[in-house]
Amino acid sequence: MTGNELRELLSTSPSECHRALMKEYGRYVYSIVFNKLRSCGTQEDIEECVCDVFADVFIKFEYNEKYVSDIKGYIGTIAKRTAIDHFRRLSALNSRIAYVDEDDLSQLVSDFSVDERVDSSELRRLLLQKIKELGEPDSTILIQKFYYNRKSSEIAQSTSMTASSVRSRCTRAVEKLRQKLIEADILM
């Protein structure tokens, strides 16, 4: 779209002119804005800036002979400058430190418990240690069955056993593991 076409369309139907500009230059403006704001802005910020660019184009466009053939350069310049302004504003907002009142601290409390996480991690470590103490092929069967959720037939292929052998070994290995966990005072 050239400047002449834009001027003619603007004089006949401003809304049709806006639609045509958005259709033709929407992706172009979006790519310019996205490249400037991707490091500091959200998707909403990027879309808001694109809208601001087209608002500036619609409001500030005045027919000028230098835009007759190169309306794309004009739109690109506005997009770049508007995106830089948004970038500066967003960067300033992101660099500010937020101070919280003591009354608002209750909102920051999380249900995450470090003690529970450590206990859970320690329990997993001990469980894996006891499984490894069972020896081969029992430890491999239990790990593949319960950690990787594999079927007996799949385990049988990797251990060169039959599926029925894997199931019976698994049952015996679980009982051995239960006894080891009781001895270690993990189970009661």
The arithmetic mean of pLDDT across residues 88-98, rounded, is 71
The arithmetic mean of pLDDT across residues 118-135, rounded, is 79
Torsion of CA 84, 89, 91, 92, to 10 degrees: 140
User: Tell me: the pLDDT tens digits for 6-63?
Assistant: 777 777 887 887 788 888 888 999 999 998 888 887 888 888 999 899 888 877 766 5
pLDDT band at 185 (very low <50, low <70, confident <90, very high): confident
User: Tell me: the pLDDT tens digits for 75-87?
Assistant: 888 899 999 998 8
| Residue 40 one-letter amino acid | C
Among 11-20, 32-41, 128-137, 152-161, the range scoring the smallest mean pLDDT is 11-20
Q: What secondary structure letter does DSSP report for 147?
A: I
